[in-house]
Structure 1
Amino acid sequence: MSIAVTDLTKFYGTQKALDGVSFSVDKGEIVGFLGPNGAGKSTLMKILTTYLEPSSGSASVNGQAVLDNPMAVRQSVGYLPEHNPLYLEMYVKEYLSQHAQLYKSPKNRIAEVIEQTGLSPEAHKRIGSLSKGYRQRVGLAAALLHDPEVLILDEPTTGLDPNQILEIRELIRNAASSKTIFLSTHIMQEVEALCDRVIVIDKGQIVADHKLSELKGDQQQIVEVAFDFRVEEVALNRLPKVSKVENVHEFTYLIHFDTKEDMRSTVFDFAHDNGLKILQLNQKNKNLESLFRELTNPGK
């Protein structure tokens, strides 16, 4: 087991940032750690990387307890924090050489990670002159230098443009072939693109822990329909297997069905029986983003 967390709690003064968190990550898994801002994601990652101590509970990485063997944990973890702490006045190779010395990594590893992370064109430049995307590459290269078994990445694509996001995702995907990856984000597309499992945290507590395939398999069906006239929602709620109806825009409705059966024919029949014309009729699936909103709804 790569990561084991048991009943972990963390207080900042009187504020409880983590509240009895428990989960485990098996070797080779790519796990997305989802949650809204302030949910406790970064706090947990800092505990796993020994930057913070828990108030109670336990955590271990590669069998090493974060409180008992912090140096062993650091040696087996590559960490890219949310705010990548780079020395902007240093050159890329100089910065990576410094990290290699700290981890006692062989010198040839510097050239290897520069190649691995696509830094070759920028390797002789000062970090301060690099784009945000290339700075993230430098942080990822530093995390990979000592060839860790576990990569812990906290919001690795925050602030990047769409092209840079795709590039960093590809780097992470390539690294995942030989490592366990624990990836914190609040971007649903990030999880869908990279992960095979998702853990959702809200207000310091785990509210979901599922394989991504399980979430997709449990999806409700949503039919989006636009009529030529306003329809009373109570009439649509009488359709079979309806769980919810939303009037999203004028004569357009989202009808949620508790079934995987294609219900568009049922909606078509409803329109025909009530003398309505259908201007638009689409079948949708309940994606990770809508599931996330339900799980972390502040009004629940």
Structure 2
Amino acid sequence: MLTVERLTKRYGKKTVVEHISFSVKQGDILGFLGPNGAGKSTTMNMLAGYLGADEGSILIDGTDMMEAPLAAKKKIGYLPEKPPLYPEMTVKEYLCFVFRIKGLKGAREECIKEACCLAHIEDVSGRLIRNLSKGYQQRVGLAQALLGSPPLLILDEPTAGLDPKQIIEIRELIADLGKKTTILLSSHILSEIQAVCSRVLVMDHGRILADGSTESITGSGNKLRVAVKGNFQDARAALESLPGVLVRDAYTESEPGVFEFMLEHERGADIRTALFEALAQHRMPIYALREGDRSLEEVFLALTQGENDGGAQ
């Protein structure tokens, strides 16, 4: 659906996006994650055709953005961080206006009704945009991006400025849209990316630091942390006796007589029952058991702090 090769953008001598390459398959929800100033919005603007690239190529469903920008843009629905709304218009008037300026063909009323339905704004279609809440205004912006059923949606900070309830509503809406549409979602909110995205791309200083599924970035999904009360050596021996289990790390007491171990097991295996039985035989209770992979927040901080440290040297 989308192929990006060595995309670069400079402002004078400053390079804000530096030779990034990635591709997105149909049906993916790709999350752009990075701190403020990482180059996310600049990249989104280039992908949407609002900003020209200095180097590289962008293919939207096989159409080259540089060679055929109008044809490529027709395959994109774009919601910038600040939706381009006209507050003096009603929702329906605004969507009719967008329908015309996009040069869309077909039954206008049906197209607008479908977009309103997808964005869940049918009940406010006759109201002035300026009288809507921030959350509903964001939905109107999303509806204009959905007009014409584009195969690719580009959403730049779609929950910026919303309250917690509105954020949850927009996330659920994006997740629902992702069942039928390929989506690129830019955000610096970790929970937002983790909640709706099937794949994560981490950027900082205009470069890609990590790219993959949430599971592949945070870990392999085959690690457990277990906190055990009892003698340290006996607990370690009991854990090492489990078939297919390696004790990777052992930690100091988290509280008197309680020790934490990092276990690695075969991918896809469920060792919880065997773990419980092995420790129960030695009358050593389990005080805590959780997945041992790093959180997305820990990975993000490690990547971006390491990048910042390297740039400072």
- Provide the secondary structure at the position in 1 that maps to 2:175: helix
Q: 2: distance between equivalents of 1:220 and 1:38?
A: 34
Equivalent residue letter for 2:264: T
Maintained 8 Å contact 1:197/1:212 = yes
Q: 1:75, 1:5 → 2: CA distance?
A: 18
In the alignment, is the contact (CA less than 8 A) between 2:32 and 2:187 conserved in 1? yes
Q: Give the alignment partner of residue 241 of structure 1, picking from 248, 262, 267.
A: 248
Alignment correspondent of 2:232: none
Tell me which amino acid in the other structure corresponds to 1:166.
Answer: I
Q: Do the aligned partners of 2:74 and 2:150 also contact (CA within 8 Å) in 1?
A: yes
Give 1:214 shift.
Answer: 2.6
Instruction: State the shift of 1:160 in Å.
Output: 1.4
Aligned 8 A contact 2:262 2:292 in 1 = no
Cα separation, 1, equivalents of 2:180 and 2:58: 23
Q: Aligned partners of 2:226 and 2:40: how far apart in 1?
A: 34
Corresponding position of 2:192: 190
What SS class does the counterpart of residue 87 from structure 1 fall into?
coil
Counterpart for residue 73 of structure 1? 72
Shift of 1:250: 10
Aligned to 2:235: none
Q: Does 1:8 align with 2:7?
A: yes
Give the match for residue 295 of structure 1: 303
Deviation at 1:126, TM superposition (A): 1.1
Cα shift at 1:11? 0.6
Other structure's SS at 2:180 match = coil
Q: What letter matches 1:116 in structure 2?
A: L
Q: Residue 61 of structure 2 aligns with which residue?
A: 62
Mapping of residues 8-157 of structure 1, within 5 Å: 8-105=7-104, 106-108=107-109, 109-157=111-159
In structure 2, distance between residues paired with 1:155 and 1:224: 37
Q: RMSD over aligned Cα, in angstroms?
A: 3.2
> 1: CA distance between counterparts of 2:134 and 2:51?
27
Tell me how far apart the structure 2 counterparts of residues 218 and 193 of structure 1 sit (CA, whole Å).
Answer: 18
Aligned to 2:290: 283
Q: Name the TM-score, length of structure 1 as normaliser.
A: 0.81
**Residue number in structure 2 paired with 1:275:** none
Q: Which residue of 2 aligns with 1:166?
A: 168
Q: Which residue of 1 aligns with 2:183?
A: 181
CA drift of 1:281 comes to 4.1
Shift of the 7–124 alpha-carbon distance from structure 1 to 2, 3 Å rule, reads same
Asked if the contact 1:220/1:256 (under 8 Å) is kept, the reply is no
Once the two structures are TM-superposed, the CA of residue 186 in structure 1 deviates from its matched residue by 1.4
Q: Which residue number in structure 2 is paired with residue 259 of structure 1?
A: 264
Amino acid at match of 2:216: E
Distance 1:111 1:223, change over 3 A: same
Q: Would you say the 8 A contact 1:221–1:256 is kept in 2?
A: no
Query: Percent same amino acid at aligned positions?
Result: 40
Shift of 1:260: 4.9
Specify the code of the residue in structure 2 equivalent to 1:293.
L
Shift in Å at residue 113 of structure 1?
1.4
Query: For residues 226 and 40 of structure 1, do their structure 2 counterparts lie closer, same or farther at Cα, with a shift above 3 Å needed?
Result: farther
1:202 to 196, 204, 207: 204
Q: Which amino acid aligns with 2:27?
A: G
Partner Cα separation in structure 2 for residue 74 and residue 246 of structure 1 = 57
CA contact (8 A) 1:221 1:285 kept: yes
Structure 1 gap segments, 5+ residues each: 228-239, 270-277
Aligned 8 A contact 2:27 2:183 in 1: yes
Deviation at 1:225, TM superposition (A): 6.5
- Provide the residue aligned with 1:233 in structure 2: none
Q: CA deviation at 1:55?
A: 1.3
How much has 1:288 moved relative to structure 2? 1.4
Once the two structures are TM-superposed, the CA of residue 215 in structure 1 deviates from its matched residue by 3.4
Q: How many residues align?
A: 279
1:105-145 per-residue CA deviation (whole Å, 9 max, x = no partner) reads 33121122112211122111111111111011000100001
Judge conservation of contact 2:226–2:262 (CA < 8 Å) in 1: no
Q: Amino acid of the residue matched to residue 33 of structure 2?
A: L
TM-score using structure 2 length: 0.77
